[in-house]
Amino acid sequence: MLQKESIRDWFISLQQSICEQLEEADSVGKFISDAWERPGGGGGVSRIITNGAVIEKGGVNFSAVWGKAPEHTLKMLKLSETSADFFATGVSIVIHPQNPLMPIIHMNVRYFEMSTGQYWFGGGIDLTPHYVVEEDARYFHKQLKQACDQHHESYYNDFKKWADDYFYIKHRQETRGVGGIFFDYLTADDKFTKQDRFDFVKSVGNAFAPIYTHFMHKNKNLAYGEREKQWQYLRRGRYVEFNLVWDRGTKFGLETDGRTESILMSLPPQANWAYSHQPEPNTTEAKTLSLLKKGINWI
């Protein structure tokens, strides 16, 4: 039987592998490690990189925390128990690049277990370009489809739609970026074992570094000016809005007394807000906004 300790240990190895690959591709930036403990049980290691040649700010965080489940979690799971313990472990990543022609990327892979016997895997990976480049969006989605197809033919289409719905900034009526995949509450059923679900999560986790280092090598030297930087700051503002208003992981971390610095690691080093800003028609900025919608078939 697959145990939570084995899952936790694999997430530790994933964090190390991704940091090594990102450092090599950046060539300048180095991760610092910040180990922390959660007063209610468990802890983690935040790995942070800043002021690299390509990465302006990024984090690759590992955590394994446990304790009494919040009341809202018990209600969400429709449990009759008034008290139960939880265990949660995973890796969460957000990378903010220097160059506005490089995309922001996010990934989270996680495992959650209750003392009542319930468990599930969740996660997702999505791309948030400041400027949508259709070639890059197609490449991204093709890599995710390959990872999904190794495990079930329905995964990519199902989880892409889930991502379109999840990574949606409702109050702006636009998607956060070009989507990706999102999944949650994956557990054993009549088709999949617990090991099957974990193997899928591992494929998603292992896809991250090759995908993003591809973009680092491809886009890092593209020329840009002040106009592109100002647009980058505005698009980062949208990223902040999603993470603080809609993101489940942010809410769960804060509600379970997680480490604030690690939870808010996903925020960019600088973001701007301009009142009622609209790009000029027929510009690359206007084109990007036109592509921030659900249901685009990038493949």
Catalytic sites, residue numbers = 106
3-class SS at 248?
helix
Strands (E) across the chain are located at: 32-37, 42-50, 55-68, 85-97, 104-114, 119-128, 168-169, 174-175, 180-186
Alpha carbon of 104 to those of 9, 110, 146, 238, 259: distances in Å?
A: 27, 20, 21, 12, 23
Contact residues for 224 (Cβ-Cβ < 8 A; gap 6+) = 99, 100, 101
Q: Strand, helix or coil at 10?
A: helix
Greatest pairwise CA separation for the chain in angstroms:
58
3-state secondary structure at position 85:
strand
287 token code pair = 């084109």
CA 226, CA 232: separation in Å to the nearest integer?
A: 10
H or E stretch covering 136: helix 134-149
What CA dihedral angle connects 133, 134, 139 and 143, to 10 degrees?
110
Closest CA to 106 of 174, 154, 177: 177
Whole-angstrom Cα distance, residue 12 to residue 90? 8
**The residue count for the chain:** 299
* CA pair distance 77, 118, nearest whole angstrom: 9
Beta strand spans in 129-209 (E): 168-169, 174-175, 180-186
